[in-house]
Structure 1
Amino acid sequence: MDETVVADDGVRLWVEEAGHGDPVVFCHGGPGLWDTLDDVAGLLVDEFAVYRWDQRGAGRSQRCGPYSVQRSSADLDAVRSHFGLARAALLGHSWGAQLALEYAIRFPERVSSLVYVSGTGIDPRATWRDEHGRRIRERLGDRLARWAELNDGERTEDEDRELCVLQWSTDFARGDRALAHAERMATPGSESTSSAMRPSTRRPERGMLRSCARGARLCRSRSSSSTVRRTLGRAVRWTRWNRRYPRCPG
């Protein structure tokens, strides 16, 4: 069931609640992306109450700052509080794993457990980056040449999206379905396990995808409030979704 959570500064956040049992709150990747964890939620709803949400400035939530790690943590707490959860498990992916970790450090009494999925790491030197880059190239296979071509120089809007899809496809374990999964990630509002929304044919604006890709790289090299604020700011300024979803109060 879709709901709206109002943060302490009045910004409206989209949330979906599904299932019954011990609570698990999801934190999607980005910053600047939207929730893409519906398949994971579908695996858990028979045993857990799952709460998915779009972080501010993305997806179905309002385009309204400020944007920072502290603000994202406060929004996560607003989701928890809205549903009356004294404690909840947190499941975070990529940047969302970092957000979940930050929240758990700040509010340990409100977190029952933490699932850290492909997080950006806490090593400020990002010592894993070389190995990560090698594996991306290895998993791209015969698409490596096209990926390298797209990475070199200016791109059109379609090419920007193509690059994101190729890059994201390397994160999936099943190579035969990786491109399809990545295509859906690049389409805001796409769902597979929820009948509440139909897959959208609307594409995010070029700068939105570029900002998302840049945000992932920045956050993996240094997780800071200024990085999150700059990256989400770009995503918000460039997105065309303001025509469809509400902006800041007033």
Structure 2
Amino acid sequence: MTWTRTVTTDDGVRLWASRSGTGTPLVLCHGGPGLWDMFEDVAEQLGDLATSVRWDQRGCGRSQRCAGPWTTDRFVADLDAVRRHFGLRRMALLGHSWGAQLALSYALAHPERVSALVCVAGTGIDPDADWHPAYKANFRARLGERPERLARGQELTDRPQLTEAEDRERAVLQWSAEFADRARDLEHARRTADPWFGVNTECDKALNAERKRTWGTAELHAACRELDLPVLILDGAHDIRPRSAVDSLERALPRVRRVVLPDAGHLPWAEDPQGFRGAVADVL
């Protein structure tokens, strides 16, 4: 059974959250920035292993629309509000993509409140310049395998204003590049975009700009070397973000295991649910 809740942060912003399953407390941090929780399938896959808490980050998805602030520190505080709301003394954290950065940031700030950390399809702790150009090239190459999608996506991107349906269509075309299975990539992307809540572009731009300013420092590397928690780095081999980007995090962490699923892309639970469940079960 799934229970839907409203979590109120210390500055009065209302966050959508839900809880389901039985077992180890596991809080899920979705990707973005500016997106919403897409972990319904993950919660179902882990339903007999974990009590999964899903939530939409500030100003995104089903959470209250607000004016920010769009900072990692603020999102870490929001995540702690979710923890307190559900009465969790300690929790395992699973973060995907940008959510892996958020989960790591929380674990560094509050290691005593985290039992284990799972970083899915993240991008490590080095500067964006070390991996982002390769990501952009891989994105265009994979989308270019379907020239009609590349052309349609560019057409929509060039328009000054989009309807909600066109905005969703552009996202689906872009997200199709995230999947390894080229026969089902559009199907997977459409499922990811359903339901559609619209991307919070202000949040996305602000947090990505903050990352470029603050990520990749010697202080961050040093903090990760001191993180005394079991960590799983879980990747899909066909992620268009080069997996070498995560090497920096793997090298820094003292208690880390890395699993690469050979037939998956950026959302490995969608393309290899058994491999994904098995790897996470070992941590939980």
Distance in 2, matches of 1:85 and 1:133, equals 39
Give the TM-score of the pair, scaled to structure 1.
Answer: 0.73
Query: For residues 221 and 11 of structure 1, do their structure 2 counterparts lie closer, same or farther at Cα, with a shift above 3 Å needed?
Result: closer
**19, 22, 38: which one pairs with 2:21?**
19
Query: For residues 136 and 13 of structure 1, do their structure 2 counterparts lie closer, same or farther at Cα, with a shift above 3 Å needed?
Result: same
Return 11-20 or 124-133, whichever deviates more.
Answer: 124-133
| Aligned match of 1:102 | 105
**44, 47, 67: which one pairs with 2:46?**
44
| Aligned match of 1:247 | none
Distance in 2, matches of 1:110 and 1:117, equals 20
| Aligned match of 2:61 | 59
Quote the offset at 1:171 in angstroms: 1.6
Give the match's secondary structure for 1:4: strand
Distance in 2, matches of 1:133 and 1:185, equals 21
The count of corresponding residues between Structure 1 and Structure 2 is 208
Give the match's secondary structure for 1:175: coil
Q: Is the 8 A contact 1:95 1:216 kept in 2?
A: no
Any stretches of 5+ residues in structure 1 without a counterpart? 191-202, 226-250
| Aligned match of 1:8 | 10
Give the match's secondary structure for 1:121: coil
**162, 183, 187: which one pairs with 1:180?**
187
Distance in 1, matches of 2:200 and 2:56, equals 19
Query: For residues 223 and 57 of structure 1, do their structure 2 counterparts lie closer, same or farther at Cα, with a shift above 3 Å needed?
Result: farther
Give the match's secondary structure for 2:18: strand
Paired amino acid for 1:10: G
Quote the offset at 1:123 in angstroms: 1.5
Distance in 2, matches of 1:30 and 1:69, equals 13
Are 1:131 and 2:134 an aligned pair?
Answer: yes
**147, 158, 176: which one pairs with 1:154?**
158
Q: Percent same amino acid at aligned positions?
A: 53
Q: Is the 8 A contact 1:25 1:90 kept in 2?
A: yes
Paired amino acid for 2:80: D
Give the match's secondary structure for 1:176: coil
Runs of 4+ in 1 over 6 A off after TM superposition: none
Quote the offset at 1:87 in angstroms: 1.0
Paired amino acid for 2:40: D
Distance in 2, matches of 1:40 and 1:151, equals 32
Deviations 1:162-197 (A, max 9, x none): 33212211222333332122223334xx3xxxxxxx
Distance in 2, matches of 1:181 and 1:223, equals 33
Paired amino acid for 2:62: R
Deviations 1:87-142 (A, max 9, x none): 11111111111110110110011111111111243212431123323332343354
Paired amino acid for 2:112: E
Higher RCO structure, 1 or 2 (CA under 8 Å, sep 6+): 1
The RMSD of aligned alpha carbons is 2.8
Structure 2 counterparts to residues 74-85 of structure 1, below 5 A: 74-85=77-88
Quote the offset at 1:216 in angstroms: 10
Paired amino acid for 2:9: A
| Aligned match of 1:239 | none
